[in-house]
Amino acid sequence: MAAHSAAFSMAKIIKPFWGGLTGNTVKVFGTTVTSQRSKTVLTPPPAKYGGRHTVTLIPGDGIGPELFNHVREVFRFSCVPVDFEVVHVNSALETEDDINNAITAIRRNGVALKGNIETKHTMPPSVKSGNNLLRTSLDLYANVMHCQSLPGVQTRHKNIDIIIIRENTEGEYSSLEHESVSGVVESLKIITRNNSLRIAEYAFRLAREKGRRRVTAVHKANIMKLGDGLFLQCCREVASGYPDITFDSMIVDNTTMQLVSKPQQFDVMVMPNLYGNVVSNVCAGLVGGPGLVPGANYGRDYAVFETATRNTGKSIANRNIANPTALLLASCMMLDHLKLYDNATLIRNAVLTTMNETRLHTADIGGQGTTSEVVQSIMRIIHSKGQHTANI
């Protein structure tokens, strides 16, 4: 901010001094200053020092801690220039200090890898979901999930390739509830024009970037005429600015029915929060399960990567049977975000080779491998590519 005001004051001084001679220069200077000042919040600079990035790591509960150990192992082995700042969040506590620490750490570093934080609903309703709090405080408005059929995984449907973009901050997840009379509870679902436009804009931009032909909006506007009606209207408005991309809409119950019979018809889907939850879980199930699909939460300034279906996996925790694929692919997405493309491609190819060629599968996709076996196989493949690797 100091630089800005200095520049502005400089312009004031310079202008009368140089008169007409460098009038153009001053005008350009003035324009630059105005455009910088029109941004109300500064984008935080990348947390990069000495060529190494710092990324916040929130292990979460359930299978999070053990799988993140594997992720760190793979990163160390492949000499990825990323350091992790680990922040533990205790889901048993009633205060929000832990989550606030995590949020501050993410603000500091800009990028995070996250496991799912369990929400015990035996606690009083004033204790909000930690995951939700994180998403809303950091304004991570877009949840993106790419569901692709993997050739090595046996599923009922083949050739699925769907990108799901889900509004991540409002809708049914506003956590605004009250008990007006004893035994009658009201929960508010909020849909705003700004957020709907924002998510629609994100969806179409992503579709164009990836060369996708069709965007489908999923809604229930026949029942929730005002709420989902507004969402649909915003999507249509944005669609009119992208004539190269086809836009259509579908009611959510019909969508789920179509997904289980003909999922190949879908390309890119955009929807509000709750339907996003349902549709993304259905799609994850269609391509092989929660252990395979990575998810990303993008905000304007921050990005948090996690598994797409956000499971804690309490029942399989610490038994060495969890599938590390989803988290490893999520960390590759993170590396792409940090522009470390080579590292990302290397690890991603190793993971996919293990999945598709060596067919070393964990129990959730019908195999008998353990987590450590899968990770060892991945590291072997990375080593065989001749890259510089650390000693184990």
Partner 1 sequence: MAGNALRSAIVNLLRKWRLSINGQDKFKAKEVLRVAAALKKDTRMFSSGMQTVTLIPGDGIGPEISTAVMKIFEAAKVPIQWEERNITAIKGPGGKWVIPSDAKESMDRNKMGLKGPLKTPIAAGHPSMNLLLRKTFDLYANVRPCVSMEGYETPYADVNLVTIRENTEGEYSGIEHVIVDGVVQSIKLITERASKRIAEYAFEYARNNKRASVTAVHKANIMRMSDGLFLRTCREAAEKYKDIKFTEMYLDTVCLNMVQDPSQFDVLVMPNLYGDILSDLCAGLIGGLGVTPSGNIGANGVAIFESVHGTAPDIAGKDLANPTALLLSAVMMLRHMGLHDHARRIQTACFNTIRDKKALTGDLGGSSKCSEFTEAICQQLGYIE
Q: Which residue ranges make up the site for partner 1 (CB under 8 A)?
A: 119, 121, 125, 127-129, 132, 156-157, 172-173, 175, 177-179, 183-194, 220, 223-227, 230, 252-254, 256-261, 274-275, 277-278, 280-282, 284-286, 289-290, 309-311
Cα distances (angstroms) measured from residue 367 to each of 153, 313, 322: 10, 18, 11
Name the minimum Å distance from CB 26 to partner 1. Answer: 40
Name the minimum Å distance from CB 125 to partner 1. Answer: 4
Residues sharing a CB contact under 8 Å with residue 252, sequence separation 6 or more, in sequence order: 218, 219, 220, 271, 275, 278, 279
Q: Is the dihedral of CA 28, 34, 38, 44 positive or negative?
A: positive
Name the minimum Å distance from CB 259 to partner 1. Answer: 7
DSSP 99-120: HHHHHHHHHHHSEEEE-PPP--
Residue (28 or 188) nearer to partner 1, CB: 188
Name the minimum Å distance from CB 44 to partner 1. Answer: 29
Residue (26 or 147) nearer to partner 1, CB: 147
Name the minimum Å distance from CB 8 to partner 1. Answer: 33
Residue (56 or 196) nearer to partner 1, CB: 196
Cβ-contact 264, 159 below 8 angstroms: yes
Report the length, in residues, of the chain: 392
Residue (6 or 123) nearer to partner 1, CB: 123
Name the minimum Å distance from CB 373 to partner 1. Answer: 23
CA 252 to CA 215: how far, in whole Å? 15
Helices 341-356 and 371-384: crossing angle, nearest 10°? 120
* Side-chain-side CA neighbours of residue 167 (13 Å): 33
CA 87 to CA 79: how far, in whole Å? 22
Residue (105 or 284) nearer to partner 1, CB: 284
Residue (13 or 226) nearer to partner 1, CB: 226
